Every structure is written in structure tokens, then in C-alpha cells.
Chain A
Amino acid sequence: MAMDPECPECAAAVPLSPETLVGEIVTCPDCGMELEVTQVNPAVLQAAPEEEEDWGE
């Protein structure tokens, strides 16, 4: 797997372990943005889904 993909927000390298799976949430070490691993081999990051709010159960 291509290591250290770029943060889509600040372009910093985001270190990932070889065992990283699609769907994992990681945090950019530079800007602190929450990122989702959407692809591995090569690794691709995008902004993690935001937290919406809703009423009810």
C-alpha cells in the first residue's frame, strides 16, 4: 500500500499503518481534520462524514 497519503485539507502527509482498512477514521496530524480512508493500495483520504443532528430515537 502507498503510505503517507495526503490530507485533502492541508496536504500534509498522513501516516497509515499497513493494516489500515477502507472505512477507517484517522486524524490529520497537522490540521486535526477527521479523515476517512476510502481506498487502499493506493491509500486515498477524504473528509470524514460530518455529524448531523436529528430528533427522535
Chain B
Amino acid sequence: METRAVELLRRLVSIPSLSGREQEASRFLAEWLERQGARAFVDEAGSAVGQFGSGPREILLLGHIDTFPGHIPVRIEGNILHGRGSVDAKGPLCAFAAAAGEVEIPDRWKITVVGAVEEECATSKGARHIVAQRKKAGATPFCCLIGEPSHWDRLTLGYKGRLLAEINLCAPLAHSGGPEMLPAEKGVELWRLISDGCRARNEQNGASSPFECLSPSLRSIRSRDDDCYGHVTLSLGFRLPAWESPEELRSDLADWLRDWKPVFPADRMEAESRTEGSPEPKLEIFLSGDEVCWKGNKSNPLVQSFLAAIRQSGGQPRFVLKTGTSDLNVLGPAFPQMPIAAYGPGDSSLDHTPDECLDLSEYQRSIEILKEVLKKLMLSSAV
């Protein structure tokens, strides 16, 4: 017989919820939370919110309700639930919701479950709204758990930062038999300069592991010609270590590409207002999606509760640092003293793949861990 928690997960995964189109999923989750006894609603950002208890100390459980694109038929085969978002990250979000609805909450406490919108599209609109509300109220949560897959016995302490760059190059066409680089070749040269620059910065900083490295990726490169000019667009992503902020990377890009005289328009309108048709190569760099690297510390009640709960359950707890970026990069810097980590069932190597699926035994086990963690947090004598 399907448990209530598995039913919640199966039904939520069955509701498509691309970034920006989460309304039906948020309504569904809010209604489910309300039936479990929470004060539940869809907030101004569109996130599902459910509050259990009403005390001043808040445990914030923030997962994301939007998913990466791509349809995978939702089905349960054996003990495995297949479907987009099953791992990233409705599995962790539903585990939060199920656990919060099953623990007794002392008077001083409340547990807030959030199904946040727009984590996948890099705006993190839902998480930013939660931050803004709490800042306005002057209320820092006691601790925060971000819903992302870590496996049931592992706690994610940190994520790398991020910066997205769209580089538009406009250069005069040249004869392909001549010595001058063609615009598309100049685009490739730009990528080489940038990746060489990142490599040099990594060496300067003694970066020896993926989490410590400044990591560029070329997501796409497109080119087209018009009468006299070639137009090349490079779409890049950068994963940032702790030693490189988005502002520092902007400065590095300006330095690496200085011979190309890059400009950094604040937005498209500013770019379009400048004169076109210059004979010189034009290089515009649009930056977005900036997040700093964040790593939570280990000496706090949140980590203590997890280690104790996992061992109590017969597991060997582990810590992990992820090379991706999540809403932890929003909540962590916003409240730097607040204990924060990410947790949830599932294998993150299945994120964004056609094979995304979740072992329901692991899902159930993570709910038990979460319930134990919540109990320990709320009853800890250290509080």
C-alpha cells in the first residue's frame, strides 16, 4: 500500500513545474501541507509555504518546486519512482514536508516548509523572497536546511558560486584564404583566452580539487554573418571557488580580454543605445546569475543532529561539497551566522538526465532521519 509520503511525492512529480510555471504544483503542495495541520499558502513569489507551530524559533526547510526541463513518464517500477524532479528536487522537498508533518512541535518552535520557485532558472526568486521577508522582519531562522539530493547518509556543507556570461563579438568578415582570423575563429580564441586565464588563476591559488577551482564551461557558441560582419555569441558558465567572487571574475575577464576592449553593458537597452557599424571588433559581455561560493560550518546543532541521527540509524555519516550551485548560495550569505546545510534522498548524478529516478526506500529512510533531526534540534539542551 502506498504511504502518504510516497503518494505526495508521486503526485507532485506528476505535476509539471518548469521554472516560472510552478503554480499548479505550489497550490497542490500548499493544500497538502494544510491538510497535515500547517498554516499553508502560496506566497507572493509563487512558492508553496507551510508553517507548523507558531513559536519564535524557526527551522526553515527550503526545497525547490521547479524542475529542469524534459518529460519523463512518471511511474513506479519495483521500488523506484521515475520522473523529472524525482531527485532534483521534489524528493527532498517532499521528505521535508512529510517529516515536518509528523513531529510534535514544542511551543517555542515553528517549522517552515518552502517549495521555492525558480531555483533552476538561476533567479532563485523563491529563495530571495524568503530572505527578503525575514530581513524585513528582523528574524533570522535558527537554522536552514536546503532540499537537494545528498543521499540519506550524507550532508552537503557547501556549493560553488556561479556567474553566467553571454559574450557577443562583432568583427569584420575576412577572406577565408587570408591571414586574418574569421569571426568564428575569434570566438574560439576568446574561449581559449578565458580558459587559459582560469587555469592560471587556479595555479596561482594552489587549487587542487574541483571545489577549489575556478571552472569555466562553454555552453554554446553560435555564429552568423551579415553583409560585412560576423556575429559570434558565446554562452559561458563559471563555477566559482571561495577565493573568487563574481566581482573578481568580472575584473579578471576585463583583464584577460583587455586587448579586445570589452564592454560590460548593464542590460540590453544600454547595449542597443550605442552606435553600430564600427569597423573595429566589438565585444560585449553580459553577466548574470551571480552567486558566491558558500560553505557552512560544522560546529552547530544542525550538523550535530544529523551526525547523531545517521549513526543512530546504523549509517556512517559523510560530508560533501558540491560543484553545483543551489539556494544555499542565497540563504547562506544572507544569514552568515545561521547553521545551514543541504540534504535529501537521491543521487545527484541523475539530475537533469533522462534517467532521473528515486529509490523509495532511500526516500522513506531520509524522512526518518529528518524526523529525528527535527526532534533533536527542538529538544537540544544547547538551545
Contact = CB atoms under 8 A, between A and B. Distances in A.
A36 B318 CA distance: 12
Given A24-B299, A34-B298, A52-B320, A57 B304 contact: no
B304 A25 contact: yes
Majority secondary structure, B binding face: mixed
B382 interface: yes
Nearest to B64: A57
A23 B319 contact: no
B116 to A, nearest CB: 13
A23 B308 contact: yes
Contacts of B325: 57
A36 B317 CA distance: 11
Contact of B324 (A38, A49, A56): A56
A54 B304 contact: no
A50 B319 CA distance: 6
Interface residues of B, number: 37
Interface string B312-341: 000011111111111000000000000000
A55 B311 contact: no
B223 interface: no
Interface string B272-311: 0000000000000000000000000011000111111101
B320 A23 contact: no
Interface string A25-53: 11000000010101000000000111111
Contacts of B308: 21-23
6 contacts: A21-B308, A21-B381, A24-B299, A52-B154, A56-B88, A56-B149
Interface of B: 88-89, 148-149, 154, 157, 159, 209-211, 298-299, 303-309, 311, 316-326, 348-349, 351, 380-382
